[in-house]
Amino acid sequence: MQINDLLNHTSEWLKGTGPNSDIVISSRIRLARNLSKFPFPHWASSAQLDEILAKTSNAMANIDMLKSSTFFRLADLDVIDKQFLVERHLMSIEHSQKTEQKAVLVDDEEIIAVMVNEEDHLRIQLMQSGFNLFEARNIINRIDDALAKILDFAYLADFGYLTACPTNTGTGMRGSVMLHLPALVMSRQIERVLAAIAKLSFTTRGLYGEGTQASGNFFQISNQVSLGHGEDEIIENINGLIRQIIEQETQAREILLSKSREVLEDRINRSLGILKSARIITSQETIELLSMVRLGSDLGMVKDINRRTINELFIITQPAHLQKLENKKLSPQERDLKRAQLIRKKLNLL
């Protein structure tokens, strides 16, 4: 697989399927693993990082579940390619920087991604569409078990898996769920919800994870600490929290429909009208308008645009995707023009 092949492929997490997919965009499980007898990446020498890269790439090449995957050395990719992988949620923003001795493995369905030499030697990621944490955990554990038969992971009986950040020590597991919560935002309940989440030792981030703010009514919620908690406990805790948030968002949508239906319909139709007619549009405005159209589709107010199409527009209108589609570097102004053109074409053909 070539990186450009991903342009014509719908990522698993964008398919708009799975449980509670009207509110839950995706579920992700990430495992942090480090090789024993090697320093963590930030402390390792270039020679050690090269050795880690060689050992892990050879190991992954011998895992049956990873046979239909491609291994990208980040030093071989240009800036747009790296940003493209970030936009598709296949690697972190941090991983796209200072890319010597770094790599990412991506399977053909974009369900599995493994970052090499990010904060830890391995960051194994499994993504599913909708609210599907348990299935994601089961799949990633099989990959982890297969790798553990080849690689000697840093592990202590008293602490569990050793990681660069102490909060990940233990299982090394982070579970996260991407939620679309427009009704809670519109009804001004979101700050109360986020404050409650923080008190429960969960963290809330934006569309692209750590260091990003919520936009387009998207919120990524994950556990903060792994040490002292088992995998089942982590997943159960996240599951319980997410179910409560789903219930609150559902209730907020019902209240908006019953008490402010005309206002809601007006906002949704205005958003759709702008997207169908705009000649210049920024990435931020696009996300905010698409969020309202997605809500309209989920509530049955927008009949001819399905969830999958809207999800895909969230991604293909991002800066690197636009430049990949045009096969050239674009200035911010050129991207705003091309973005509007692409959206008009997609929506007016439906």
Answer yes or no: are the C-beta atoms of 71 and 103 closer than 8 Å.
yes
CA 313, 315, 317, 321 dihedral sign is negative
Structure tokens at 163: 């990681």
Distance, in Å, from the CA atom of 209 to the CA atom of 203, rounded to the nearest integer, reads 10
Helical ranges in the chain per DSSP H = 46-61, 79-87, 133-148, 182-186, 190-199, 231-259, 261-277, 283-298, 307-316, 319-326, 332-348
Q: Is the pLDDT of residue 350 over 60?
A: no
What is the SS3 assignment for 178? strand
Over the range 47-84, which residues count as b (16 or more CB within 10 Å of their CB) and which as e? ebbeebbebbeebbeebeebeebebbebeebeebbbbb
Cα 167 to chain centroid, rounded: 20
Closest by CA position to 13, among listed 346, 312, 221, 316? 312
In single-letter form, the type of residue at position 208 comes to: Y
Query: Exposed, middle or buried, 348 (CB in 10 Å: 0-12/13-18/19+)?
Result: exposed
Q: Helix 307-316 to helix 319-326 angle, to the nearest 10 degrees? A: 80
Answer yes or no: are the C-beta atoms of 253 and 183 closer than 8 Å.
yes
Give the pLDDT band of residue 211 (cuts 50, 70, 90): very low
- DSSP label at 209? B
Structure tokens at 289: 């308008």
The pLDDT assigned to 213 comes to 55
Structure tokens at 152: 């000697």
The pLDDT assigned to 208 comes to 56
Closest by CA position to 122, among listed 53, 47, 51? 53
Give the pLDDT band of residue 4 (cuts 50, 70, 90): confident
Answer yes or no: are the C-beta atoms of 161 and 155 closer than 8 Å.
yes
Cα 31 to chain centroid, rounded: 14
Q: What is the pLDDT of residues 94-151, one digit of tens each?
A: 999 988 999 999 999 999 999 999 999 999 999 999 999 999 999 999 999 999 999 9
Q: Between these two residues, 12 and 280, which has the higher pLDDT value?
A: 280
Q: Is the pLDDT of residue 300 over 50?
A: yes
Query: What string of DSSP letters covers 120-164?
Result: SSEEEEEEEESS-HHHHHHHHHHHHHHHHTTS-B-EETTTEE--S
Closest by CA position to 142, among listed 69, 63, 71? 63
Distance, in Å, from the CA atom of 294 to the CA atom of 16, rounded to the nearest integer, reads 11
Residue with tokens 């911010």: 332
Distance, in Å, from the CA atom of 109 to the CA atom of 254, rounded to the nearest integer, reads 35
CA 200, 204, 210, 212 dihedral sign is negative
Give the pLDDT band of residue 11 (cuts 50, 70, 90): confident
Give the pLDDT band of residue 226 (cuts 50, 70, 90): low
The set of residues, in sequence order, having a beta carbon less than 8 Å from that of 28 and lying 6+ positions away, is 13, 89, 125, 126, 127, 128, 136, 175, 176, 177, 178
The pLDDT assigned to 215 comes to 66
The pLDDT assigned to 254 comes to 96
